[in-house]
Amino acid sequence: MAEGQKSEQTENLGSHGGRASSWLAVTVMLIGSVIAGVGLTLDNWMVVWIGAGVFVVGGILALVFDIFTDVVIDAPRSGLRAEDHR
């Protein structure tokens, strides 16, 4: 196959990259999870609740930015066998 040409199996694949605003919301939720995890390991409940609050802020951002609209649904793949993945 020539470089730059798409095969039959990959022509319907969309981008799953997402928008920067969606990644911001996910990053805020990840940071909140890390903060809460550190609080759990330090046995400091104030830090756990701060992390939970940061996570909730990320969740609100996710709702505001409507991150689920970033999902790209590919066309059904038919005819793929184990031999196709070599």
Q: Is 86 helix (H, G, I), strand (E, B) or coil?
A: coil
What is the pLDDT, as a whole number, of residue 54? 98
Q: At what angle are helices 20-41 and 45-65 packed, to 10 degrees?
A: 170
| Per-residue pLDDT, 28 | 97
Question: What is the predicted pLDDT for the residue at 10?
Answer: 47
Residue 38 CA to residue 86 CA, distance in Å, equals 42
Grouped pLDDT means (10 residues each) for the chain, 86 residues: 49 64 94 97 97 97 89 66 59
Query: So where are the chain's domains?
Result: 18-45
- What pLDDT score was predicted for residue 18? 78
Task: Quote the pLDDT of residue 20.
Answer: 86
Predicted TM-score (pTM) above 0.85: no
